[in-house]
Amino acid sequence: MDDLLPEWVAVEVAAEEDYAGRLLPEEAAGLSERAVASRRREFTAGRVCARRALGRLGVHGLAVPTSPGRAPVWPEGTTGSITHTAGYCAAAVALRSDVRAVGIDAERRTILPGNVRGSICLPEELAWCAERPGEDWWPAVHFSAKEVIYKLWSPIVGTWLDFLHARLTIDVAAREWEARILPGKLAESPPGTPAVFRGRFHVAPDLVRSAGYVTDSELRA
Compute the distance between CA of residue 96 and CA of residue 78 in angstroms, rounded to an integer.
Answer: 5
Q: Do 104-220 and 10-98 fall under one CATH topology?
A: yes
| Region 104-220: CATH code | 3.90.470.20
- pLDDT grade for 1, boundaries at 50, 70 and 90: confident
**pLDDT tens, 172-186?**
999 999 999 999 999
Compute the distance between CA of residue 64 and CA of residue 51 in angstroms, rounded to an integer.
Answer: 7
Burial class (CB in 10 A: 0-12, 13-18, 19+), 211: buried
State residue 33's pLDDT score: 86
pTM: 0.95
Compute the distance between CA of residue 39 and CA of residue 37 in angstroms, rounded to an integer.
Answer: 5
Q: 10-98 has which fold?
A: Ribosomal Protein L22; Chain A (3.90.470)
Element (H, E) at 10: strand 10-13
3 state SS of 67: coil
Radius of gyration in angstroms for the set of CA atoms belonging to the chain, rounded to a whole number: 17
- pLDDT grade for 188, boundaries at 50, 70 and 90: very high
Contact 5, 12 (CB under 8 A): no
Compute the distance between CA of residue 65 and CA of residue 171 in angstroms, rounded to an integer.
Answer: 36
Of all residues in the chain, what percent carry a pLDDT higher than 90? 91
Compute the distance between CA of residue 205 and CA of residue 110 in angstroms, rounded to an integer.
Answer: 10
State residue 221's pLDDT score: 52
State residue 220's pLDDT score: 53
Burial class (CB in 10 A: 0-12, 13-18, 19+), 218: middle
State residue 25's pLDDT score: 96
Would you say residue 38 has pLDDT above 90?
A: yes
Compute the distance between CA of residue 107 and CA of residue 176 in angstroms, rounded to an integer.
Answer: 17
3 state SS of 65: coil
Question: Would strands 166-171 and 10-13 be described as parallel, antiparallel, or unpaired?
Answer: unpaired
Compute the distance between CA of residue 138 and CA of residue 97 in angstroms, rounded to an integer.
Answer: 35
Compute the distance between CA of residue 146 and CA of residue 203 in angstroms, rounded to an integer.
Answer: 15
Closest CA to 53 of 20, 85, 5, 16: 5
Compute the distance between CA of residue 44 and CA of residue 111 in angstroms, rounded to an integer.
Answer: 28
Residue 132: which residues within 8 A CB-CB, separation 6 or more?
Answer: 138
Would you say residue 81 has pLDDT above 60?
A: yes
Question: Structural domain boundaries of the chain?
Answer: 10-98, 104-220
